[in-house]
Structure 1
Amino acid sequence: MLAEGIGSSAEAAILVDGKLDEPEWAQARRYDDFKVTEPFRLSAPDAGTSTQARMISTPDGIAVAFTVEQSAATPRVKPRLERDQGNAADIVNFMIDFDGDGRTAYSFTVGLSGSIQDEVISNENQVNLDWDTDWTSAVTESEAGWQVELLIPWSVAPMRGTDTPTRTVAVYFGRALGSNGEWQAFPAVTPARGRFVSGFERIEIPQYRKALFHYWPYLTARHDLIEGRAYYKGGVDAFWKPSPNFQLSATVNPDFGQVESDDLVINFDAVETFFGDKRPFFTENQSIFDLRTPDSGRLIHTRRIGGDADDGSGASDIDAAIKLNGSLGALGYGLLAASEDGEGGRDFYAARLQYPIRPGLNIGWLGTHTERPTLDRSAQVQAFDLSWKPNEALIINAQVLASFIDLRGVEVDDSGGWMRVNWTPSNSWSYELEATHFGSQLNFDDLGFQRRAGLNEVELTGVYIHRVEDPSARLRSSQWSTELQARSNDHGDRLPTYLLLGNNYRFRSGNRVNLYASLISAGWEDLISRDNGLWRSSGRYRAEAEFVSRRYGDWTFGASFTLPPLGLSATPARELALSANWYPSDAFNASFAFGPDRTRDWLVWEGGRNFGRYSRRGDSASLNLSWFPGLKHELRLKSEWLAIRADNGERYQLQPSGQMLATGQARPDFDINNFGLQLRYRYLLGPQSDIFLAYSRGGFRRQDRDEAGAADLFDDALGLRDSDQLLAKIRYRF
């Protein structure tokens, strides 16, 4: 139930210390009608686990407090975690949609240990963890439970309509129990369903105007242990917010983020692997540019900026970049420009507009332009999007886009569009209908991330949630889902049709079991040969069983077994993944993972119409250690190993008829080895200010040889040394 206080604003500052002893908290709005949403039961929390949230608007920002009851019957789980590390823990969560229109929400999470997580949620339930902003929190603990205070500055996000004394926002409060994974929330909505952000509680609060200016100089020193040389780099980021409806960010010679290491991937697919961005300039106030397509594409993928240069000289240096966010009345806008250095450098430009026609109906436009002089190529993308929520049960999203490419004087233009309808008629049932058309020449990869062009697809999904009413039952809820995907390319070739079935079980203990199966019809595969012909694949299937455990003492466990189709026959491969997390103390945690895979039928593209068919043995392992010796100190070891051994190879050739025919030519055995290690120390100087010391080493090798075992490959991996460096970085906010 929501209980109004005598007001919802405070002129005096609130000291964020987790104690809730300021008299202003007596004026705050209070929320205590939390329901269990994971498992999706919508029942009141068990005795001894109640939660109350409070919220108040202050000149410094939005102040939020949680009073959490946690009796001795519910174990407290409070490991220290790195920022945005989502391991099992007791946490509270506050989300706010500053414009109250259901388009974008900002999420702030605090753990019982004081660890934090922040993220941006767009398109109802799409999460971006790359965002790290400046906010304050504190936790205090007692025998009865714990308390949390948060202060969210007015500067964390651009807002429309800032020239009025009040504004309408939408808010959400959540709490998770680390011992069993239960999630409680007000209002009782969940990102697992189609409607989430637009289901937040809308309220009117006082708003305040506050000017802000910060700049962050940084200096990086890198010693290459292979070359025996030292490299130095410096730059500066700046942020200026003279009023709530205008924000300017600028950077000169920004750091590419060497202190953040990507996960290792060995990718033989025709679609590139997506990696997020951790550079502060490209994550702060970026949500207005986060426009996506149904197949996980992004019209702006900031990793393109500062990526590999067009002349093959390696990663590009960025000379400068600038970003504007703001509003003119109800119209929200964003501008982004970046320029790279060097012969292979590029120039990137983007502009974005958003406008609410009326409550529940929003339209937008995005335009991008990329200049690539080395390739004599220029590329433009134009996109119009719509979000309409006619009632509480129905959400309609749509997008129309077009690309205009000029390559050496030859123009190639094409278009596409998609529409998604989410219907949630009850708490048990939800449906989604999605239709997509991408022209065969549509291309937004110059500044975006595109999985494929030339696609006509219709998807229909139905989800049923069964809530077990018996409070003593071991099973709390189960979810059944069915999805049908019918696809063809833009030339009319019918691609394989997918029928996806899912069944998820949530147990009272906190354990989870997930079962998935995909039935795949025969059809044409048009990406596998990289535009060198179509392959007529046979019918096949894919299956997966996954177990995710609750906390058992100091441990959590996970296991999955997958049967994916990787070759010519319907016989799938076998993949096993085992993982464990160990928490011997609140200040130290470790994670381990191991994953072997085996198949006698692995198909690999080897150029043109040529393919190799092999027996494959794969192994992967990772070890991550995190130690927090003090509140401002973090020490992390991250290590990964991936290896593949291929033998019994035979050459196959794709025929014009679409058949794969064996040529009788043997292919040599080969193995691939990939290893990466990073030891990183971080000292928190202050808000958005850090010192990093990091040692990184790793390498990649492919070689033809016979009879290489897993032990041999692991030995070889430890000797890989394509990169071996020491790095020191300081970044300080003034």
Structure 2
Amino acid sequence: MNRLALFALTLGSSLVSLAQTNHNDTMPLIKAKKKITALKTQTNISIDGKLSEPEWQTAQTATDFIMFEPDNGQPLAHEKRTEVKVLYDNEGIYIGATMYDDPAKILKEITERDNFGTSDFFGIFINGYNDGQQDFRFFVSTAGTQMDALATEGNEDYSWDGIWNSGVSITDFGWIAEMKIPYAALRFAEKEEQVWGVNFFREIRRDRQKFTWNHIDNKIGTIIQQAGILDGIQNIQPPTRLFFIPYSSYYLNTNKTGTDNTFKAGMDLKYGINDSFTLDAILVPDFGQTTFDNVVLNLGPFEQQFNENRPFFTEGTDLFNKGNLFYSRRIGAAPSTYPATTADEEVLDYPATVNLINALKVSGRNAKGLGIGVLNAVTEKTDVTIRNKTTGETRSETVEPLTNYNVLVLDQRFRKNSSFTFVNTNVMRNGDFRDANVSAFLFDLNTRANTYKLSGNFKFSHVNEITENLNGYTGYLNFSKISGKYRFNVNSTYVSNKYDINDMGILFINNYHNVYANANYRILNPNKTFNSFNINTNYYAEFHNTTGRAQEAYMSVNINTTNKKNHYIGGGLQVNPFETYDFYQPRQEGRFSYNPQIYSGWFDISTNYNNPFALDTGVWYDRFNQDIRHNIGFYFSPRYRFSNQFSLIYYLQHIRQNADKGWVDYDSVNDDIVYSNRDRNTIENTLTGKFSLNHKMTFNLRARYYWSYTENLNFLTLKDDGHFENNNTYTQNQNNNFKIWNFDLSYSWWFAPGSQVSVLYRNNASHFERRVNKNIVDNLDHTLNNNLNHIFSVSVRYYIDYNQAKSWVKKV
């Protein structure tokens, strides 16, 4: 029996055994929904966490909360009962929640917005269309911190920030949360009588127990559909949703070359086109205070992928992420071309980024479940100066023309759990430069009881080069069981050799096909040992389309558990049983290098964050069936909460790669692709800290020192069969020693809803050399002396609601 047949037989037998579920794993239908009726109030409700207005005493009460995690289905004990009431007026809805508990045991760490921290919290989930598709979620902690998110099934987007008010108080019987959520922060149809999907949520942090008002059965593969009903809201009008966010900022930048002062001013705009759709626009962008990127020494054939830190491109982007065609860091990235130069010319000022002129997006979902997203951004024409080193003459050349980026998404949801989606991305560069267009059709079909899912996509890319047009495509099909104790997933992908989405997306490889399968078992309720337990088996095989050679193949098993003290323990094993081939590392069309069999294992521990001291740590090991090649790594991250205001987290990671094989150069003299046999060490140290004066004022610290070096032991020549032979003629120094230092200290004050003052001090430096220096202190010293850059900045943003502005004008 050959290896591929053995692989398929193992995969199939494992799937069959795990798919044979017993009668206890049958799928229940969603039970009857609870209902609460809102009471209209004429009183001016003070959001102070006291519930002192008389309407709170007469409003209907939502109670009898049920545990969501860990012991799903268990009722909340009477001594910890929760009682929620809902009022409304012409401006918004009001939520009053009384939570009984021992006040001496309530956890209440102070954190900045959208950080739950170690504290109890209360939340409300609102679906204004009651269609099971999207929630607006609002939370408040015992310390008064607000958290909010836009949620679709399986995804919570906390980058979205609504404008709403909240107040809390600790009492002698527990604590109280009070909220006012303006209608402008929600989406709902313009009807005389509103019927909304709603659920109330409470976490008792010390017990790591989560409860909901309407029971969410974890045997069912959905959460939003298991909401209760809120009715009684009548004759309200969706308000004009028009918001202006003017800003001004000042930057002082100093280093060895001099000092610069920069002042910026601009404005963001949000406008509710109708009850469903919102326009967001940035006029004169300013992203100067976004967090730094975790840059690494990248020796591979592909670019490093960075997280998006710019607020405009992170807020409410769920629609734009459909199909994974949009990598927002392309907008404003480095120019797409590099100028051709002669031997005696040099480029003086090649930029790291291109300036963004403006950007806007329109997004939302109507009452019939149609989600529409349109994003458009324009970057400016960018030139560089090229100098002749002999004559001193200079010339200018365009490396990025005026460029327009566009994303269009149409997402039709139906039956509350399924969807069809169309996505198109388009990049148009002015003049004789490359243009690109990608279109995709996606489908996600779930059975009515949310037991099984069939999903897939077809994508087509078109690149218009100056000399030729390139067309490519990919297809994907997935079938899975998504409910119960036993679940599985089987899918396959085909990618053609011309498929390319990298003008607006990110794609590392094409020209392959694969098959993947996963089977897993989980407990749905705690047992005597574990609060949660999950075991996964995974099987993957990938093949190069042109040659049919295997590019990757592995089998793995991993276990993830949480014990009765809420400590996480996990680990796994993986085997890459066959020799595979890498068609990308050689960096030359048609060439490949082989990868040996690999045996890997890992183990992770994360202790309960409720304790003042907690620890995250783990270790992994890879053994290659190739000489003495192996990798070993560990991470160690203690955290300590000194008080409800002050905490520190330290992170150390060390990776050692012995006898690693990697590309270093192309030797044009001997027509050789040169690899090296090398040792590599990487050490990363990160310190983060938080000191909160209150839930509106926070100091944050983040410092990172990254150091990675490679020492070449000897050089190798890549042979035509993908293996290596010694190269004794190549003599260039290809050692690497890269260090980077980043330090951010910031102060943030949310002085009014949606309005913020931010003060940031930042310094950073990087250093690269071909000399291997194994002294970590000496390397840090060299880095900090390599033109350390200092930046001090102050930014003020003020949120203006058109409806409030009208009342200001009337008073004047």
TM over 0.5: yes
**Residue by residue, what CA displacement relative to the aligned partner does 1:385-408 show, whole Å, maximum 9, x if unpaired?**
222222221233322221111011
User: Match for residue 438 of structure 2?
Assistant: 381
Q: Is 1:140 matched up with 2:180?
A: no
**Residue type of the alignment partner of 2:66:** F
Superposed displacement of residue 559, structure 1 = 0.9
User: Match for residue 323 of structure 1?
Assistant: 361
Please give the alpha-carbon distance, in whole angstroms, between the structure 1 residues aligned to 2:195 and 2:622.
Answer: 48
Please give the alpha-carbon distance, in whole angstroms, between the structure 1 residues aligned to 2:117 and 2:417.
Answer: 35
User: Match for residue 732 of structure 1?
Assistant: 798
Q: Which range moves more in the overlay, 95-104 or 340-349?
A: 95-104
User: Match for residue 779 of structure 2?
Assistant: 713
User: Match for residue 245 of structure 1?
Assistant: 276
Partner SS, residue 630 of structure 2: coil
Q: Is 1:416 matched up with 2:416?
A: no
User: Match for residue 603 of structure 2?
Assistant: 545
Q: Is 1:615 matched up with 2:679?
A: yes
Partner SS, residue 711 of structure 1: helix
Q: Is 1:485 matched up with 2:485?
A: no
User: Match for residue 573 of structure 1?
Assistant: 631
Report the CA distance shift for 1:451/1:120 in structure 2 as closer, same or farther (over 3 A): farther
User: Match for residue 632 of structure 1?
Assistant: 696
**Residue by residue, what CA displacement relative to the aligned partner does 1:239-281 show, whole Å, maximum 9, x if unpaired?**
1225313422222111124243334444334444443434343
Pick aligned residue for 1:256 from 260, 263, 287: 287
Superposed displacement of residue 184, structure 1 = 3.5
Q: Is 1:462 matched up with 2:491?
A: no
Report the CA distance shift for 1:133/1:520 in structure 2 as closer, same or farther (over 3 A): farther
Report the CA distance shift for 1:83/1:639 in structure 2 as closer, same or farther (over 3 A): same
Superposed displacement of residue 357, structure 1 = 5.0
Q: Is 1:336 matched up with 2:375?
A: yes
Please give the alpha-carbon distance, in whole angstroms, between the structure 1 residues aligned to 2:645 and 2:260.
Answer: 36
User: Match for residue 264 of structure 2?
Assistant: 233
CA contact (8 A) 1:221 1:728 kept: yes
CA contact (8 A) 1:253 1:317 kept: no
**Residue by residue, what CA displacement relative to the aligned partner does 1:534-589 show, whole Å, maximum 9, x if unpaired?**
22211112221111111475212111112246895585311111112211111111
Please give the alpha-carbon distance, in whole angstroms, between the structure 1 residues aligned to 2:623 and 2:128.
Answer: 45
User: Match for residue 175 of structure 1?
Assistant: 202
Please give the alpha-carbon distance, in whole angstroms, between the structure 2 residues aligned to 1:57 and 1:409.
Answer: 64
Partner SS, residue 237 of structure 1: strand
Please give the alpha-carbon distance, in whole angstroms, between the structure 1 residues aligned to 2:626 and 2:160.
Answer: 42
Please give the alpha-carbon distance, in whole angstroms, between the structure 2 residues aligned to 1:585 and 1:494.
Answer: 54
Pick aligned residue for 2:66 from 34, 51, 74: 34
User: Match for residue 755 of structure 2?
Assistant: 689
Report the CA distance shift for 1:334/1:313 in structure 2 as closer, same or farther (over 3 A): same
CA contact (8 A) 1:513 1:547 kept: yes
**Residue type of the alignment partner of 1:150:** M
User: Match for residue 210 of structure 1?
Assistant: 239
Q: Is 1:223 matched up with 2:287?
A: no
Partner SS, residue 750 of structure 2: strand
In the superposition, the TM-score normalised over structure 2's length comes to: 0.81
Superposed displacement of residue 418, structure 1 = 2.1
Q: Which range moves more in the overlay, 321-330 or 614-623?
A: 321-330
User: Match for residue 300 of structure 1?
Assistant: 326
User: Match for residue 521 of structure 1?
Assistant: 577
Larger-Rg structure: 2
**Residue by residue, what CA displacement relative to the aligned partner does 1:211-265 show, whole Å, maximum 9, x if unpaired?**
1211112222212202311122222111122531342222211112424333444
**Residue by residue, what CA displacement relative to the aligned partner does 1:615-637 show, whole Å, maximum 9, x if unpaired?**
22221111112112244322111
Superposed displacement of residue 478, structure 1 = 1.8
Partner SS, residue 65 of structure 2: coil
Report the CA distance shift for 1:387/1:316 in structure 2 as closer, same or farther (over 3 A): same
**Residue type of the alignment partner of 1:203:** I
Pick aligned residue for 1:498 from 554, 562, 571: 554
Superposed displacement of residue 712, structure 1 = 2.0
Report the CA distance shift for 1:300/1:53 in structure 2 as closer, same or farther (over 3 A): farther
CA contact (8 A) 1:333 1:354 kept: yes
Report the CA distance shift for 1:648/1:320 in structure 2 as closer, same or farther (over 3 A): closer
User: Match for residue 354 of structure 1?
Assistant: 411
Q: Which range moves more in the overlay, 582-591 or 394-403?
A: 394-403
Pick aligned residue for 2:488 from 416, 420, 431: 431
Pick aligned residue for 2:144 from 109, 114, 119: 114
**Residue by residue, what CA displacement relative to the aligned partner does 1:156-186 show, whole Å, maximum 9, x if unpaired?**
4666xx2434566544444334335443445
Q: Is 1:585 matched up with 2:616?
A: no
Report the CA distance shift for 1:282/1:723 in structure 2 as closer, same or farther (over 3 A): same
Please give the alpha-carbon distance, in whole angstroms, between the structure 1 residues aligned to 2:770 and 2:267.
Answer: 46
Superposed displacement of residue 701, structure 1 = 1.7
Q: How does 1:190-209 map to 2 (within 5 A)?
A: 195-201=221-227, 203=229, 205=231, 206=233, 208-209=237-238
Please give the alpha-carbon distance, in whole angstroms, between the structure 2 residues aligned to 1:689 and 1:447.
Answer: 32
Pick aligned residue for 1:556 from 600, 614, 627: 614
Report the CA distance shift for 1:111/1:326 in structure 2 as closer, same or farther (over 3 A): closer
How many equivalent pairs are there?
Answer: 720
Superposed displacement of residue 358, structure 1 = 4.7
Report the CA distance shift for 1:713/1:4 in structure 2 as closer, same or farther (over 3 A): same
Pick aligned residue for 2:107 from 77, 80, 87: 77
CA contact (8 A) 1:335 1:351 kept: yes
Q: Is 1:314 matched up with 2:352?
A: yes
User: Match for residue 164 of structure 1?
Assistant: 191
Partner SS, residue 312 of structure 2: helix
The RMSD of aligned alpha carbons is: 3.2
**Residue type of the alignment partner of 1:304:** R
User: Match for residue 536 of structure 1?
Assistant: 594
**Residue type of the alignment partner of 1:683:** W
**Residue by residue, what CA displacement relative to the aligned partner does 1:164-211 show, whole Å, maximum 9, x if unpaired?**
3456654444433433544344555599x9933454325364474111
Please give the alpha-carbon distance, in whole angstroms, between the structure 1 residues aligned to 2:61 and 2:422.
Answer: 36
Q: Which range moves more in the overlay, 213-222 or 524-533?
A: 524-533
Please give the alpha-carbon distance, in whole angstroms, between the structure 1 residues aligned to 2:128 and 2:588.
Answer: 46
User: Match for residue 448 of structure 2?
Assistant: 391
Superposed displacement of residue 86, structure 1 = 5.2
Report the CA distance shift for 1:83/1:5 in structure 2 as closer, same or farther (over 3 A): closer
Please give the alpha-carbon distance, in whole angstroms, between the structure 2 residues aligned to 1:86 and 1:526.
Answer: 45
For structure 1, which runs of at least 5 residues remain unmatched after alignment?
293-297
CA contact (8 A) 2:244 2:268 kept: yes
Q: What percent identity do the matched residue pairs reach?
A: 18
CA contact (8 A) 1:695 1:725 kept: yes
Please give the alpha-carbon distance, in whole angstroms, between the structure 2 residues aligned to 1:275 and 1:13.
Answer: 47
CA contact (8 A) 2:103 2:170 kept: no
**Residue type of the alignment partner of 2:328:** T
**Residue type of the alignment partner of 1:277:** E
CA contact (8 A) 2:607 2:615 kept: yes
Q: Is 1:371 matched up with 2:428?
A: yes
Q: Which range moves more in the overlay, 81-90 or 393-402?
A: 81-90
Q: Which range moves more in the overlay, 683-692 or 560-569?
A: 560-569
**Residue type of the alignment partner of 1:710:** I
Please give the alpha-carbon distance, in whole angstroms, between the structure 1 residues aligned to 2:790 and 2:215.
Answer: 50
**Residue by residue, what CA displacement relative to the aligned partner does 1:75-103 show, whole Å, maximum 9, x if unpaired?**
43322223333544333344444444454
**Residue type of the alignment partner of 1:216:** I
Q: Higher helix proportion, which one? A: 2
User: Match for residue 295 of structure 1?
Assistant: none
Please give the alpha-carbon distance, in whole angstroms, between the structure 2 residues aligned to 1:412 and 1:457.
Answer: 23
Partner SS, residue 179 of structure 1: helix
